[in-house]
Structure 1
Amino acid sequence: MFAVIRTGGKQYSVAAGDIITVMALEGEAGTAVTFEEVLLLSKEGAATIGAPHVAGAKVLGEIAEQTRSPKSIAFKKRRRQNSKRKRGHRQDLTRVKITSIEG
């Protein structure tokens, strides 16, 4: 059994026991999380597609850790201008362990 959920503007295909990395969610490690936006639910080969969401379906998970992405560097240089800029960015992320799929 698996489901396709939407969180943080992205879609994720999940099954029970999976660990996914999503955009930052509020909560500490061990906090329960519920994903209500289930776009597709598949069990035993029969798929239920939502319009836009599957009614009564939800995915339950638990926050494993709050982390940050590797640093991405934006370096800009203008030739012969003696002008350059280096900026770094790290995105806040949350690792979620999927516990069960209901629907």
Structure 2
Amino acid sequence: MYAVIKTGGKQYRVIAGQKLKIEQIAADIGQQITLNEVLAVGSGEGLVVGTPLVSGASVVAKVVSQGRHDKVRIFKMRRRKHYQKRQGHRQNYTEIQVETVNA
């Protein structure tokens, strides 16, 4: 059974046992969290699509770690104008492991 969840402005297709990195959530390592914004739940041919959410569906996950992604370097330049701008960004993430998908 799989589910399509929405968290941090993004959508993810998850199954039980899967690890994934999502936008940072304020939770301690080892804590269980419940993701209630489930857009679709399915197994094989049976797919239930919500309007916009599936009522009563949830995904239970455990927080594995908190961290930061690799640095993204931004470089802007206008040729012949003596303009150069350098900037960097590191996005925070929460790594979770999906335990169960409740339909």
TM-score normalised according to structure 2 size: 0.94
Match of 1:67 in 2: 67
2:29 maps to 1:29: yes
Q: Partners of 1:62 and 1:36 in 2: how far apart?
A: 14
- What's the counterpart of residue 5 of structure 1? 5
- Give the Cα separation in 2 of the matches to 1:55 and 1:43: 17
Q: Which runs of 5+ in 2 are unaligned?
A: none
Select between 18-27 and 72-81 the one with higher mean Cα deviation: 72-81
Q: Which runs of 5+ in 1 are unaligned?
A: none
Q: Superposed, which structure 2 residues align to 1:38-57 within 5 Å?
A: 38-57=38-57
- Aligned residue identity for 1:91: Q
In the aligned structure 2, how far is the partner of 1:56 from the partner of 1:44? 20
Structure 1 residue identity aligned to 2:57: A
**Mean alpha-carbon deviation: is it higher for 35-44 or for 10-19?**
35-44
Between the two proteins, the alignment pairs up a number of residues equal to: 103
| Cα distance in 2, alignment partners of residues 93 and 14 from structure 1 | 17
Q: Distance in 2 between matches of 1:44 and 1:86?
A: 49
User: 1:59 is aligned with what amino acid?
Assistant: V
CA RMSD of aligned residues (A): 1.1
Note the C-alpha offset of 1:44: 4.3
Corresponding residue for residue 99 of structure 1: 99
Identity %: 36
**Secondary structure class of the residue paired with 2:59:** strand
- After TM superposition, the runs of 4+ consecutive aligned structure 1 residues lying more than 3 A away are none
Shift of 1:76: 1.3
| Cα distance between partner residues in 2 of 1:14 and 1:76 | 37
